[in-house]
Amino acid sequence: MLWIKILLACVIMAFGVGVGWLAAGKYRCRYHFFAQMHDFNERYLSELGYARKPLPAFLNAYPATGDFQKTLKEFCETRAVQLKYSYLTQEEKKECGDYFSMLGRGDAQSQSGYFGAHREPLGEKKAACEREAKAKGGLYLKLGLLGALAFVILII
């Protein structure tokens, strides 16, 4: 009988931690999106300065993952971006839409100026999202663990 209680307690604890991890997913996704956007900006700036590949070839060769990869593919195919990700605010969606609308527009010098001006704000956004993901991720994991622990104490 004791082993059933222990097994049930372990299952409840795993479920609580899993719920906490899933609840923090929004913040992780947001951080990964802006981290990849920052890295993309840096790579695009170096591409403008040196290699100057055609934009579709550069976008197809860029090693993005997740939602950022979907966004790049959509932009490459349609030259328009619709950001329907729930973890982005309306202001962030507008800023990202403006950012993508400037890709491939104008000469290399004007693009270097535009994307160079976005270097610092994107770095700050990446750092802020990383801090928020760590803080909220830890909070939700702890809340899930404590909730599961309370449930185990009540049941057993």
Q: Count CB-CB contacts under 10 A for residue 81.
A: 19
Tell me the pLDDT band of 150, cut-offs 50, 70 and 90.
very high
Residue with tokens 């934009």: 55
Predicted local confidence at residue 138, as pLDDT: 94
110-140: per-residue pLDDT in tens? 888 999 999 999 999 999 999 999 999 999 9
Q: Which tokens belong to 139?
A: 């909070």
pTM metric for this prediction: 0.88
Residue with tokens 């994307």: 115
Percentage of residues in the chain with pLDDT exceeding 70? 100
Predicted local confidence at residue 110, as pLDDT: 87
Predicted local confidence at residue 123, as pLDDT: 95
45 with 112: CB under 8 angstroms? Answer: yes
* Sign, Cα dihedral of 102, 72, 96, 130: negative
Tell me the pLDDT band of 52, cut-offs 50, 70 and 90.
confident
156 with 8: CB under 8 angstroms? Answer: yes
What average pLDDT does the segment 143-156 reach?
Answer: 93
What average pLDDT does the segment 140-150 reach?
Answer: 95
Distance between CA atoms of residues 134 and 145, nearest Å = 16
156 with 5: CB under 8 angstroms? Answer: yes
Inform me whether the pLDDT recorded for 50 exceeds 90: no
Continuous H helices in the chain: 2-23, 25-46, 55-61, 66-78, 90-101, 108-117, 119-155
